[in-house]
Amino acid sequence: MDAPVDEYATLGARAEAELTVRGSRFCAVAIPVHDRPECEAEIASRRKRLHDATHHCFAYRLGPAGAEWRAGDDGEPAGSAGRPILGVIAGASLSDALVVVTRYFGGTKLGVGGLARAYREAAAGALERGGRALRILCAVLDVAVAHDAVGPVMRAVAGAGGTILSSRYDADVLLALEIRRSRLEALRASLMEATHGSARISVR
């Protein structure tokens, strides 16, 4: 069975780029995000702050495989803005990324093809300036073990590449551990082996 996907590329930082085509200004901002409400809030904020602009077109991808996405043309001809922006994000293999391209109309119509090129180029400029970062997905385990098992447990955690977030010594030793999702089952097996099956494990 394939290991769970636990890392993917996202934007390194918020960044902006601007493009002028036949009098129209295309002002793009690329923003690292975590979820849909954050995307919607950023888009609404952009619309409010730049209220004199003609269009605020956008696209975003969310999650390890970019499975959640949305693209909006904001009054531009269908498929001329949101989809080209989304294509740039997907083409860069980025997720948890939002791009909003604000257009100030310059008086000359560009046609669907011209608009698509302009929105695509502006989005690409902002994404390039934002750079890339790796996002790691982790799981947190709560583990209870006997006092005499702490040594073997610590070695098992270190061997799996895990981190001990907290520990509390009571009747048992209570540990909170963090591990990459792809290594979760390996760590669980190591903990059970280290404690001869006595560890009590729950995953948050």
Query: Is residue 1 over pLDDT 70?
Result: no
Residue 12 domain-assigned (yes or no) = yes
Domain housing 164: 137-203
Q: Are residues 76 and 168 in the same domain?
A: no
pLDDT tens column, 118-160: 999 999 999 999 999 999 999 999 999 999 999 999 999 999 9
For residue 15, tell me if it sits in a domain: yes
> Which residue, 104, 135, 166, sits at the end of a domain?
135
Rounded to 10 deg, the angle between the 184-194 and 150-160 helix axes is: 160
End-to-end CA distance of the chain: 22
Domain end: 101, 135, 169, which one?
Answer: 135
pTM of this structure: 0.81
Are both 55 and 156 inside the same structural domain? no
| 35 and 61 together in one domain | yes
pLDDT computed for residue 6 by the predictor:
85
Question: Is 204 exposed, middle or buried (CB count within 10 Å of its CB: 0-12, 13-18, 19+)?
Answer: exposed
Number of domains in the chain: 2
Do 122 and 142 share a domain, yes or no? no
Closest by Cα among 157, 148, 150 to 186: 157
Distance, CA of 149 to chain centre: 38
Alpha-carbon distance of 85 to 100, in angstroms, equals 8
Q: What's the token pair of residue 116?
A: 């698509």
Asked whether residue 70 falls in the same domain as residue 111, the answer is yes
18 in a domain, yes or no?
yes
Query: Is residue 196 a part of any domain in this protein?
Result: yes
Side chain identity at 169, as an amino acid letter? Y
Same domain, 98 and 118: yes
What does the pLDDT read at residue 4? 60
**Dist. CA 70–CA 178, nearest whole Å:** 32
Residue 181: which CATH number? 3.30.70.240
Q: What is the pLDDT of residues 34-67, one digit of tens each?
A: 999 999 999 999 999 999 999 999 999 999 889 9
Examine the domain organization and report whether 66 and 98 are in the same domain.
yes
Question: Do 16 and 111 share a domain, yes or no?
Answer: yes
Residue 104's identity, in one-letter code, is Y
Residue 110 lies in a domain: yes
Q: How far apart are CA 121 and CA 114, in angstroms?
A: 11
CB burial of 45-57 (b: ≥16 within 10 Å; e: otherwise) equals ebbeeeeebebbb
Q: Are residues 17 and 105 in the same domain?
A: yes
In a domain, 2, yes or no: no
119, 135, 151 — which closes off a domain? 135
Co-location of 142 and 94 in the same domain = no
Which whole-number Å values give the CA distances from 143 to 4, 71, 95, 154, in the listed order? Answer: 22, 43, 32, 12
- Per-residue pLDDT of 166-198, as tens digits, reads 999 999 999 999 999 999 999 999 999 999 999
- Tell me 112's DSSP state: H
Q: Tell me, yes or no, whether 90 lies in a domain.
A: yes
CATH number at residue 15: 3.30.230.30
Residues 130 and 155 in one domain: no
User: 149 with 77, same domain?
Assistant: no
